Amino acid sequence: MQTFAHGAALWDVECPRRPSGVAGVTMAGFRVRDLEALRIVPHPAVTLLVEFGDGPPVVDHGPGRQQRGSVVAGPGLGAGGAVRASGENLACVQVRLSPVIARAALGASPAELESAVVPLADLWGREASRIREQLRDAPSWQARFALTDALLTRRYEAGPPVDPEVAWAWHRIVTSHGLARIEGLAAEVGWSRKRLWTRFRSQLGTPPKRAATLVRFDHAAHRLVAGEGAAHVATGTGYADQSHLHREIMAFTGATPAAVAGEAFLAVDGIAWPGRAAPAATTPRPSSYGPAAFGPAYPPTTRLRMTEPVARKAFLSGRPLRY
């Protein structure tokens, strides 16, 4: 377990020793004695927070809107900088789910969660209470990760897959860091633009263009946290200029690029998800879902050893891509 210091706050952070059995699942464990008004920064994944500590986390997401305990947050939660998390004596497993697998694992479409936060019990019923008790009684963090992963694997394997064409479009958006040309994705999979928009929105919870904007923002925000200057980040992440980057950072977070560079929600990623750029393990699944090359919630830009058309054909036919 490592300690992450941010101001006067100290977080204990633990990581799994093994990757998840399901591509697209990453997780980390947290203990925080006093979490005071943490700004939630939008992320291109569905976030699952399973708490088991003495004090429940509290998520404020608008006037009079507050959730306590284990929650699920859709992609883009926190836009505008209005969402805060707080609490005392917190302990939780935080899971990031690729939108491509979230519907199967959670039992609800990400479209129902877009920029929203809901109690986990609303989706899982008594199963939410059972996993909380199991996490509390588990002898170690690694045992907690194994319990969480076993539950998600079971639910994922029983749930409905997304269309392989939708999975491919997400894969292209993410591996390009949000710079893929949306108008070209429909042609790549042989669909009309309207059909891709409708299926993508209903299955992943956000339209393709919004997904690309969120992925690009996330990539830019982490480069700012890594210490790169705003002008350099703007140039390297596809923004028209530094002013364009500034406006988008403000729209997503309610803060300037300089302020976002110091956000704890982003800065802790280097400890909590040290392998965020590494592909997750792949679990084959009997469906037309295709391979899990898109697997991590935010996989890296990777050069395929085959040409893009051949890779796309392999993906849509269910054959694995080779990196």
Looking up residue 130, the CATH number of its domain turns out to be 2.60.120
Please write the tens of the pLDDT for every residue from 238-276: 999 999 999 999 999 999 999 998 888 888 888 898 865
Does residue 220 share a domain with residue 114?
A: no
Does residue 109 share a domain with residue 171?
A: no
End-to-end Cα distance, the chain: 32
Please write the tens of the pLDDT for every residue from 282-296: 233 333 333 333 444
Cα–Cα distance list, 131 to 102, 144, 159, 243, 300 (Å): 18, 9, 19, 46, 31
Please write the tens of the pLDDT for every residue from 104-124: 999 887 777 766 788 999 999
Please give the pLDDT value at position 215: 96
8 A C-beta contact, residue 44 and residue 26: no
Does residue 143 share a domain with residue 186?
A: no
Provide the CATH number for the domain around residue 259.
1.10.10.60
Please write the tens of the pLDDT for every residue from 90-99: 999 999 999 9
Band the pLDDT of 79: cuts 50, 70, 90: confident
Does residue 131 share a domain with residue 54?
A: yes
Domain boundary among 158, 191, 221: 158
CA gyration radius, the chain: 19
Alpha carbon distance 266, 248 (integer Å): 16
Domain housing 86: 2-158
- Number of domains the chain is built from: 2
Please write the tens of the pLDDT for every residue from 162-217: 999 999 999 999 999 999 998 899 999 999 999 999 999 989 988 999 999 999 99
Helix, strand, coil share of the chain (percent; to 5):
40, 20, 40
Structural domain includes residue 171: yes
What is the model's pTM?
Answer: 0.83
Among 305, 306, 294, 272, CA closest to 2: 272
Structural domain includes residue 322: no
Does residue 111 share a domain with residue 16?
A: yes
The alpha carbon of 313 is separated from its chain's Cα centroid by a whole number of angstroms, namely 26
Domain boundary among 158, 192, 215: 158
Does residue 208 share a domain with residue 177?
A: yes
Alpha carbon distance 320, 285 (integer Å): 12
Domain boundary among 113, 128, 158: 158
Structural domain includes residue 323: no
Does residue 60 share a domain with residue 21?
A: yes
Structural domain includes residue 312: yes
Does residue 148 share a domain with residue 240?
A: no
Please give the pLDDT value at position 34: 82
Structural domain includes residue 32: yes
Please give the pLDDT value at position 110: 76
Does residue 138 share a domain with residue 204?
A: no
